[in-house]
């Protein structure tokens, strides 16, 4: 078990397998993005070694993310291979965060590899609005992907970023739809990560306000469920569904943080909202054994900071953290 300097056990790793995405969501990326040269990415074999080293060190949950993880070529070979840790009982959960664009193709195979839950990012149920938000996304394909995931037996959680003046009139509809489909829903505040084309302060909508509004229409009961992550959960009594509220800006969630993030180039970020990182690529490539890699992971965990410094900077209008969410994964 890895314990950081503040006594937190690190049992969860989110690994970005690519920085590329087939969407260009307005709050996440600029339309004209420069991605990393493919040669800079860890190979699928290296990603497997990296994940396995974390599992050996006591990590119980791995989430593959990106960019869009399902657009990485041959990604299912990594998922299939990591399934061995689930079968061995070393890993409790292997999950994936996706925009849903490739799920119709991969849902059944994901289930076959041992994946039981997927997070699908969906900010609207309105096809025109979906186009405006994702720029390049295909609404029907995503909906078909979500249906395929459900049919394959995967538990689906919908992630919806709350955007002022964009989708704030849709929360009731999304809650009702998720309730009818049997999906959990998580609302996320926009985080100041990376330069985008527009002004982020225009999009920021505090979830404390959203919750107060929702309470006029739905009966919300606080749930004790904690995942060690930034979400607080409530039960929506009318639908029976669970609603998560991710509030990095209005709430400090760092005291229970159990996770680290690794980029597709093998840099480990001990905090989503800080710049400090540890290079895992060099030790990974320096030898065939995992000694150096394990030492580098432990050395990084020993530097995990107490918390993040996100602020929406209204005066300077620049991101608090320079890298985009697609670099570290959501
Ligand atoms: N492509 C996958 C997807 O769409 O879920 C995985 C990566 S995406 C970066 C992960 C999540 O981060 C998505 O739910 C996305 O909406 C969210 N996200 C991206 N940029 C964000 C930002 N600046 N603030 C809050 N959430 C953001």
Instruction: For 151-214, give the DSSP string.
Output: HTT-EEEEEEEE-TTTTTT-HHHHHHHHHHHT-EEEEEE---BS--SS-GGGT---HHHHHHHH
**Average pLDDT of the segment spanning 179-202:** 82
Whether 186 lines ligand 1, by a CB cut-off of 6 Å, is: no
- Mean pLDDT, residues 12-31 taken together: 94
Q: CA–CA separation, 234 vs 111, rounded Å?
A: 27
Q: Which two tokens stand for residue 57?
A: 């060190």
Ligand 1: nearest atom to the Cα of 65: 6
The answer to whether 146 touches 206, Cβ cutoff 8 Å, is no
Closest C-alpha residue for ligand 1 atom 10: 330
Pick the closest to residue 76 from 126, 111, 51, 100 (CA basis).
111
Query: Residue 304's pLDDT is what?
Result: 94
Location of structure tokens 């029976």: 240
Mean of pLDDT values over 49-69 = 97
Q: How far apart are CA 99 and CA 22, in angstroms?
A: 9
- Calculate mean pLDDT across residues 289-310: 91
Q: Report the percent of the chain where pLDDT is more than 90.
A: 75
Per-residue pLDDT tens for 37-49?
999 999 999 999 9
For a pLDDT cut of 70, what percent of the chain falls above it?
Answer: 88
**pLDDT at residue 8, as a whole number:** 94
316 versus 203: the higher-pLDDT residue is: 203
For the segment 256-261, the average pLDDT, to the nearest whole number, is 91
Residue 99: CB within 6 Å of ligand 1?
yes
**Ligand 1: does its nearest atom lie under 6 Å from the Cβ of 139?**
no
* Arithmetic mean of pLDDT over the chain: 91
8-33 average pLDDT score: 94
Residue in the structure block whose two tokens are 């930034």? 230
Pairing relationship of beta strands 184-189 and 155-162 according to DSSP bridges = parallel
d(CA 52, CA 285): 15
Residues 195-239 have pLDDT tens digits of 667 666 678 898 999 999 999 999 999 998 776 677 889 999 999
295 CA to centre of ligand 1 in angstroms: 31
Residue 88 burial class via C-beta count within 10 angstroms: exposed 0-12, middle 13-18, buried 19 and up = exposed
Among 24, 28, 327, which residue has the most ligand 1 atoms within 8 Å of its CB, making it the best to mutate?
28
> Which segment of 81-95, 102-116, 249-263 scores lowest on mean pLDDT?
249-263
The preferred substitution site among 26, 66, 161 for testing ligand 1, maximizing ligand atoms within 8 Å of CB, is 161
Q: Is 28 in the pocket of ligand 1 (CB under 6 A)?
A: yes
Q: Is the pLDDT of residue 314 over 50?
A: no
* Ligand 1 center from residue 287 Cα (angstroms): 34
Using a 6 Å cutoff on CB, does residue 330 contact ligand 1?
yes
Residue-level pLDDT at 95? 98
Shortest-distance atom of ligand 1 to CA 119: 5
CA of 188 to the centre of ligand 1 (A): 9
Confidence of residue 330 (pLDDT cuts 50, 70, 90): low
What pLDDT is recorded for position 191?
79
Measured CA angle at 182 (ends 179, 184), to 5 deg: 75
pLDDT at 317 over 60: no
């Amino acid at each position: 078990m890895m314990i950081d300097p503040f006594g937190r056990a690190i049992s969860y790793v989110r690994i970005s397998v690519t920085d590329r995405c087939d969407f260009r969501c307005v709050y996440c990326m600029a339309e004209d993005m420069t991605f990393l040269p493919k040669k800079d990415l860890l190979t699928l074999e290296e990603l497997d070694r990296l994940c396995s080293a974390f599992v050996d060190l006591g990590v119980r949950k791995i989430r593959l993310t990106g960019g869009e993880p399902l657009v990485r070529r041959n990604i299912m070979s990594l998922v299939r291979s990591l399934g061995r840790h689930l079968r061995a009982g070393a890993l409790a959960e292997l999950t994936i965060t996706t925009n849903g664009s490739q799920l119709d193709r991969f849902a059944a195979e994901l289930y076959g590899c041992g994946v039981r839950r997927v997070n699908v990012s969906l900010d609207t149920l309105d096809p025109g609005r979906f186009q405006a938000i994702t720029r390049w996304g295909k609404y029907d394909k995503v909906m078909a992907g979500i249906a395929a995931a459900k049919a394959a037996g995967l538990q689906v959680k919908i992630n919806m970023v709350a955007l002022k003046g964009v989708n704030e009139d849709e929360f009731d509809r999304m809650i009702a739809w998720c309730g009818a489909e049997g999906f959990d829903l998580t609302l996320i505040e926009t985080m100041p990560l990376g330069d985008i084309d527009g002004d982020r302060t225009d999009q920021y909508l505090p979830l404390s306000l959203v919750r107060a509004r929702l309470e006029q229409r739905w009966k919300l009961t606080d749930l004790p469920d904690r995942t060690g992550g930034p979400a607080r959960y409530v039960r929506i009594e009318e639908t029976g569904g669970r609603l998560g509220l991710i509030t990095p800006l209005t709430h400090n969630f760092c005291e229970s943080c159990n996770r680290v993030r690794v980029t597709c180039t093998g840099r480990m970020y001990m905090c989503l909202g800080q710049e400090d990182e540890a290079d895992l690529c060099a030790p990974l490539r320096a030898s065939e054994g995992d000694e150096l890699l394990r030492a580098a992971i432990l050395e990084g965990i020993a530097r995990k900071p107490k918390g993040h410094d996100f602020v929406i900077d209204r005066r300077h209008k620049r991101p608090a953290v320079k890298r985009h969410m697609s670099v570290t994964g959501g």
